[in-house]
Amino acid sequence: MKPTIRWAITLLMGVTIFRAQTILFLPQVQMFGGPAPDGWFGPWLSDTIIGFLLPVTLYLFWRQRGTTVWGILVAYNAVGAFDYSQGLITQIISPMPVEMAAPATVYAGIGLFMVAQMVALGLLFRQEVIAEFTGRC
């Protein structure tokens, strides 16, 4: 795999580390007395979990090989992109209060990170990346 592809995947996955900060948003949902609709609990909880898994997946990406590792990386990025789509749907159905974030900021942030995760996923399906993980040329 070319170093530029390796670093591109690392960067695209790495920018999603901001998901881990959503652990700080969990107390902001209405069920805990906060201003955010309860609909945000699921996306924020899954963001937190996915964010904390990022260092593990990046470690696997850089240090391990095998079909299972490649599958874990594909699943991580696919689930991550899907989770971002759920955040967009949540914003449509249960908008975040403007006191927390402007709607344009929510849509732009989630949308950009979703695209990053989908591009990383696409790069994982390049023949040279698959070959490096599976040992098939």
Sequential pLDDT tens for the chain (137 residues): 899 999 999 999 999 999 999 999 999 999 999 999 999 999 999 999 999 999 999 999 999 999 999 999 999 999 999 999 999 999 999 999 999 999 999 999 999 999 999 999 999 999 999 999 998 75
Helix (H, G, I), strand (E, B) or coil at 36: strand
Q: Please list the residues that pair with 36 across neighbouring strands.
A: 29
- In whole angstroms, give the CA distance from residue 109 to residue 105: 6
Per-residue confidence (pLDDT) for residue 137, from 0 to 100: 59
pLDDT at 31: 97
Predicted TM-score (pTM) of this structure: 0.92
Which residues, in sequence order, are bridge partners of residue 29? Answer: 36
Q: How many domains does the chain have?
A: 1
User: How many whole angstroms separate alpha carbon 2 and alpha carbon 14?
Assistant: 18
Residue ranges making up the domain that contains 68: 3-134
